[in-house]
Each structure stands twice: as structure tokens, then as C-alpha cells.
Amino acid sequence: MNAAAFAHLALGAAPPLAGWWLLRRAAGAGLRQPPARLATDLAPAALLWALLLAATARPVLAGCVVFSLALALALADTAKRRVLGEPVVFSDVALLSGVVRHPGLYLPFAGPARLAGAAALLLLAPPLAWLAEPPLAALAPGGRALLAAAALGLAWPSLLRPPSLPLTGDPAADAAALGPCAALARQRAVARAERPARRARLAAPPLPLRAPAPHLVLVQAESFCDPRRLCGAAGALPRWEALRAAALQHGRFAAPAFGANTMRAEFGVLTGLPEAALGLDRFHPYFRFARVPLPSLASALGAAGYATACLHPFDRRFFGRHRALPALGFQRFLDARAFAGAPRVGAHVADAALGARVIAELRAAATPLFLFVITMQAHGPWPGPDPLDAWLAHLRDTDAMLGAIADAARGLDRPLLLAAYGDHLPAVPQRPRDGLATDYLLWRSDRPGPGARRDLDPAGLHAALRAALAPP
């Protein structure tokens, strides 16, 4: 291989190195680290470049592709840190299909200028490099095969079995200390190794119920909290305030994430598992952890004779719920197909339509019924000059829906336990002065409560639900 060929290879290797540096810069990781640690972090980019080079014999083309992907990951990491206060983690790969199917839920938060620039680079750079760059003649077919084999032999083990680099459990600190790619690979390996033992330790006590067992409607309300904490809108949610005054209990709900990652709160409330029991799977419990039957509120109620169903007027595949919820014991899943033609407010099915279906299910129930209701109407982004005002308009509809469900309890053949909580705060610039928790309440139609305040986390709300279902 002559000097010109080496120069061609060096030119092609420059973009992957630049992309790797951008990723490290976004993560706050410097270059003053042991060479072995730097090599582990560089391995994914090096492997991908070598495989593309072996396939195309075009070093610059391969480099442009790797750089474009690294830039896209760096932009995603930066946007996630800015909006949600958290870097990209290993389980975020499960969200890629959601970004493709429902880009409106994600891309507006990244910023139009960044999106336009990244899209232009991803779409234009590889084709231009293909047209402008001739294949490297020095890379004969046999040499390309050897290159691919060598790349796999050197880099692949660092992806499948990354070195035992220390993890703190804080994804931002780990990315800064190890490098983002090394941290992602190590997170994946640790979560996979710990998962079987963590599952094996799970168990749920039975529910002691007495006839007539109450219906349970558990509402996970999108981006819901008491708006007085964000914008001082007193009296905006009259039905919520009335229910709270007669609730068994109410208070702040310590949602595990801000602005997104609904599945974290959802899984915690349904299973009663604290995040510590999940290890690194806490970032996305439905990604791998909830792929097998697990004890939950749904499975316990199903064993006690309840019919169990989830109502979510959206894509059942989102967050992998179509696999996870049956594993948690839900017998039915009424997704977007059950709401075809339903009225919409903005981009999503109206809370009023969702509430009407809940009431119809309750009235038709021949046995005790557990309905887990996941709203969508208030999902961001919230267009217009005042996003906070647009969000508040959606919350008023959520408030009316909760009131309608409570009113329907008078015509049922058994008591109704209505519980509601906000999955996370809305991703708006305003932040409550009293922390990032949302709000919850538990209300029974046959047992007015004192409206006592008790702040809970997801596991605590699970325990409170069990207590509220039990005989007094």
C-alpha cells in the first residue's frame, strides 16, 4: 500500500475521530484518561468505520456515515440533557422506533435548526461522498475480508463483553468518567447480567378482598400536576379539588423522571417495586425487564377474580407496552384501534372520549373491574405563543374526565375506587418552587375520606392502592 493509499485512509479515519470527540465533548468526557479506557470508548466508531470500509472500499464515505451517526447521537444526548436533565442511556435504543413512528412527540424538543442541519448532513454527506470518492484500489476483495475479520476480532468483544469498568449508576457521571460509548456498553452488560437475579427476587402478597369488591380505575394522567404550582391558576381544576377534599388521601407524587419516560412511573405504581430493585433497568423497565410475567397489581387483582384492562388511546407498541402489559397481568389492552373515529383535541384522542369509554366499561362489567387508564390529550409539545396556557387547557379536560368518572359511581352495582396521578411534570420552562413531583389522589365512592395529605413515590402509591382496596 503506497503513501497515497495511506493518506486516503487517514482522510477517511478523520471524520469518525471527530464524531467520537463530539460525543465525548457532549458528555463532558476529556481525553486525559488511560489509553485502554479511551480505546474502549472508541471501539464502536472504529468497528463501524472498518466494516463500512470493508464493504465499500471508500474510506471517506465510511467516515462520513460514522460521523453523521455520531453527530446525531451527540445532538440527541445534548437535547435530552437540556430538556429532561438526563443523558442518553443504553435502553434509549428502544425508543428509536417510537421516534420514527411518532416524530411529533420527540423532534420538536430538539430544535428546528439542529434538526435541519443534522438531517441535511445525514441525507447529503454519504451520497456526495459515494459520488466523489473512487474505491481504494489498494483494498482488494481479500484485503477487505481480512479487514472486516480483524475489526470484528478486535472491537466486537468490547461491545459484547465490555471491560469491567466501574459504574456509579449515575448515567451523567458514568458517561463523563468512561466516555459515552463505553458507558452505554457497560450499562447494557451490567443490566443483562443482573436481570435474572433481580426478577427471581420478586414476589407480591395476595390481596385480601371482601364482597362487594370495588371497581378500581387508576388514571395515569399525562403531564398532570396541580397548576397552581406552575402558574398560580387557582380554581382551574374544580373537580380535582372536590375529589381531593373527600379523598382517602392525596399529596405529591415523586415521579421518577421529568418531562418524559412515563413508563418509569407506570411500572413503579403497577408493581410496587422501588427503582433500586431494578438496577439499570429502571431507565426503561419495559425494554427488557418486563418481558416475562411479573407480579403486579393487575396480576394480583386478576387472581382475586377481577377483569383487568388497560385503556390507552395510542399506539400499543409505544414503550413496548404491547409486550409488557400482558406480562404484568392485563387481560385486555384497548389501544388506538378501540378509539378509531373518537373526537380529538389537538393531536390526540380527547380525554372526554376516553372517560366515556371508561364509564361504558364500568357499566357493562359483570365482575369487579380494574381499569388502568393512560391519557394522551395533554401530551406535549404545546403549540402557540403560550405553551403553559395550552397545557392548562388540556388539564381542564382531564379534570372534567375525572369528575365524570366519579359521578358515574352513583349508578354502579359496587363501589368505585378512583385513583389518579401525574406521570411527570410538563417539559415547559417553568418549574414548581416545591420540587419536581406531580400530584395524586385516592377517592372511594363508599368511603369519604378526610382529604389527608401524604406524599408518596410510585412504590408508596402501589401500597396505598392495596390498602384502599382492602376492607376497612
Residue 257: CB partners within 8 Å, gap ≥ 6? 84, 86, 264, 265, 424
215-221/332-334 β-pairing: unpaired
β-sheet with 369-374: strand ranges across: 332-334, 307-311, 369-374, 215-221, 416-422, 438-444, 249-253, 452-453
- pLDDT score of 119: 67
- Residues paired with 374 in a beta bridge: 220
- pLDDT score of 114: 63
Domains observed in the chain? 3-198 (no CATH), 215-469 (3.40.720.10)
DSSP string, 339-401: GTT--EETTEE-HHHHHHHHHHHHHH-SS-EEEEEE--TTPSP--SS-HHHHHHHHHHHHHHH
The residues of the chain scoring below 70 in pLDDT are: 1, 109-122, 125, 131, 137-138, 140-143, 154-163
Residue type, 344: R
344-345/348-349 β-pairing: antiparallel
pLDDT digits 0-9 by tens, 380-436: 999 888 889 999 999 999 999 999 999 999 999 999 999 999 999 998 877 777 788
pLDDT digits 0-9 by tens, 238-263: 999 999 999 999 999 999 999 999 99
Q: Which of 107, 61, 293, 280 minimizes the C-alpha distance to 183?
A: 280
- pLDDT score of 210: 80
The CA distance from 404 to 402, in Å, is 5
- Residues paired with 443 in a beta bridge: 418
Residue 116 class from Cβ within 10 Å (0-12 exposed, 13-18 middle, 19+ buried)?
Answer: exposed
Beta strands in 204-325 (DSSP E): 215-221, 249-253, 307-311
Q: Which of 331, 273, 328 minimizes the C-alpha distance to 297?
A: 328
